[in-house]
Amino acid sequence: MLQAPEAACLVIADISGYTTYLVGTELDHAQDILADLIGTVVGALRPTFRLAKLEGDAAFAYALTETVDASILQDTVERTYFAFRRRLRDIARASSCECNACIRIPSLDLKVVAHHGPVVRQRIAGRDELAGPAVIVAHRLLKNDVPAVLGLPAYALYSDDVVAAMAIEDPTSAGLREYRATYEGVGEVGGWVRDLEAAWQAELARSRVIVEPESALWSMASTYDGPPSIAWEWVTSPVRRPRWQQDVTAIEEASTSGRRGVGTTNHCMHGKDAIVEEVLDWQPFDYLTVRSRMPMPGVPPMVISYLFEPVDDRTRVTFRLQRPRSAKDRAVLEQLGPMLEPAVRAGASALEPLIAADVAARRAAAGMLAEPELPPAVGRGSRSGPDGPASAVRPPGVDAGPDRSS
């Protein structure tokens, strides 16, 4: 029996160049590398998205939602691409095999399409699957000529429908390039493209700003149910923060790109007063660093890092306040400590039941449609790379820690 239609954000991550890669390569090695890379891709998409189906060299994932957070979707897509590129690099470094399949690993790349629309869950050949026009459109979008038209071999293609769901008013100013195509049986589909190779190069070049333990004036850690990506949403979302952050009545966010990230400015409203935050570093879902200015004369700017560390099935969120260089500024912040610390601890306590309820709701929804199993990756490298041997794929759904070397 068909279920009632539900709004969903659909994402397909497809390993491009794999068909050509297979020609002239050792099939067992090539299939093992594919399993490794697919595991990396799915692991980076989870748990923001659930795996609906493996389709050869592609992963089809979804999230049931009426609206789409522009920052979370784009951060997840780019984080998935970064994980893919790092994994390509690490497999190549770790492998001592000189077969064609291993030598030609750098020829592989990744493209991602995202769409939003109604879907239904139905039973097909004994398996639960998603169906509906939105599923068809999402798969049609994979068959595009973006590389030829825009010259982008690695890209994310966001349909007009998902851009509307993200409430991006001006996609061009958000760094997206327009693309339109006509598909048989579907008609014209408009979309917007992000250059993932350019995003990767920017990721490699960017400076890290993080408060290390030895430079912290004060720190505090709290542990929450669920993975880092969910804790990240609650800590960074301007809609969710007032629900737990003490005395915050609203968050007014300003960003030129339409998504949160480096350069975003937040006005944390405390009644008529506002604490102004500037995002200095943004590494979803690992850490972020902000510079906060209090509405009080004589108080120096405070540099604060929030770090998200997976601990089994939970997440440790660490708050670190940087020690000012000048003795005068240190003295001021030390005097403010008795006021700041209780507020931070109260917010952390209020956040715990909210994350727990969110995780429980997502787990209940996830049980409605079982995820398929991932193919095992045997691993054929004999040398260890920066993240371990080539076979050491991070379990799907486990968030990586901060990668400061890239």
Could you give the CA distance from residue 206 to residue 274 in angstroms, rounded to a whole number?
29
CA distances from 304 to 274, 279, 281, 405 (A): 17, 10, 10, 21
Could you give the CA distance from residue 397 to residue 406 in angstroms, rounded to a whole number?
20
pLDDT at 27: 66
Which domains are seen in the chain, by residue range?
6-204+373-389 (3.30.70.1230), 208-363 (3.30.530.20)
β 302-311/314-322 pair status? antiparallel
Closest by Cα among 79, 105, 82 to 93: 105
Q: What is the pLDDT of residues 229-272, one digit of tens each?
A: 999 999 999 999 999 999 999 999 988 777 899 999 999 998 88
Q: Is the pLDDT of residue 405 over 80?
A: no
Q: What is the pLDDT of residues 64-110, one digit of tens each?
A: 999 999 999 999 999 999 999 999 888 877 666 667 767 777 788 99
pLDDT at 382: 34
Between these two residues, 356 and 382, which has the higher pLDDT value?
Answer: 356
Phi-psi region at 43: left, alpha or beta (left = phi > 0; alpha = psi -120 to 50): alpha
| Mean residue pLDDT across the chain | 87
Amino acid at 357: A
Mean pLDDT value across residues 327-334: 95
